[in-house]
Amino acid sequence: MWRRPSPRSPISPADLTGIDFTGVNSLCSFPITAARIEKFNRSTNFDASKIRDEGFEQPVSNEEALRKTVEWHLHHEYGESLPAVA
């Protein structure tokens, strides 16, 4: 059965947006692209001034949160559920 070929563009949506959703919901492995490299090397700084202006206070410091995360992973198996905290 003959199928009409799908149109191809030299520019992908990831090239235009910097967001690459290829393979998110599939089991396929996709090649490394310039858009993917750029995405994962981009700064992820977050400005929390608005939420702090509303009165939010961090319950633990970033350093303490990272220390606890690393400690937990060193003592638990991959795929094990996180404990429920009240």
pTM: 0.37
3-state SS class at 8: coil
What is the predicted pLDDT for the residue at 67? 94
What does the pLDDT average to over 20-35? 67
What is the predicted pLDDT for the residue at 66? 93
CA distance 5 to 8: 9
Better-predicted residue by pLDDT, 84 or 60 = 60
Reply yes or no on whether the pLDDT at 31 is more than 90.
Answer: no
- Whether the Cβ atoms of residue 14 and residue 33 lie closer than 8 Å to each other: yes
Better-predicted residue by pLDDT, 80 or 50 = 50
